[in-house]
Amino acid sequence: MTVKRLDSETRQIQIKKAVLDIISTEGIGKLSTRNLALRIGVTEGALFRHFSSKKAIMLSILEDVKNGLVKEQERITNSKEYKADEKLYNFLCTHVNYLIANKGITILLFSEAVHMNDPQLKKHLREILSIQKEFVSRIIKQGIEEGIWNEEIDTEDAAILYMGIPISLNIELTLNPKFFKKEKFCSSMVSMIKKTLRKK
């Protein structure tokens, strides 16, 4: 019986999923090429036929974040059918759902960019965070224009507050996985931001 060889694109998806699985179940310290190869069922040499390096895997995951999460957040931000408070909820819940579906991604991106001290990884990560902050700022400005939020609010500061939410999500998923309810988490985080934005 011959085993069907997977095409490179399918194998790359498999490798990236395995990276996130290892981080979310065993911790980032267990992310080695040996452990990754064992998880997939290939040799370490086979891994590097699909990615030239560990850094190449990280860059590909960052590209997935841009093409998946960030593009959807852009669609929500640019939508003409939602008021600002609806956009804020949809934007945040899209973010939460993506991070839950791709467990380990926040830890991976922040830890590896810093740990490897790689300028290219840091550049791509900065781009993603900068774009997300810009989207949040635009949603807040829309709410101010609609008269529902305080016009004296510094939108940049409020956007920075938003950027702490993925870290809070990881803490909740790590410490309270059995009791975590994503709908409740989304509502609580949006409520917190709205309290900051509320008119005096």
Residue ranges of the domains in the chain? 1-51, 54-197
What class, spelled out in words, does domain 1-51 have in CATH? mainly alpha
Nearest partner of 22 among 110, 107, 99, 95, judged by Cα? 107
Going from the C-alpha of 164 to that of each of 8, 58, 106, 159, 176, the distances in angstroms are 36, 21, 11, 9, 18
Per-residue pLDDT tens listing for the chain (200 residues): 333 566 788 889 999 999 888 888 887 778 888 888 898 888 888 888 888 888 888 889 999 999 999 999 999 999 999 999 999 999 999 999 999 888 888 777 666 555 567 788 888 888 998 999 999 999 999 999 999 999 998 888 888 888 888 888 888 887 887 888 888 999 999 999 999 898 76
Question: How many CB atoms are closer than 10 A to CB 32?
Answer: 12
pLDDT at position 113: 54
pLDDT at position 58: 85
For the domain covering 54-197, report its CATH number. Answer: 1.10.357.10
| pTM score of the predicted model | 0.86
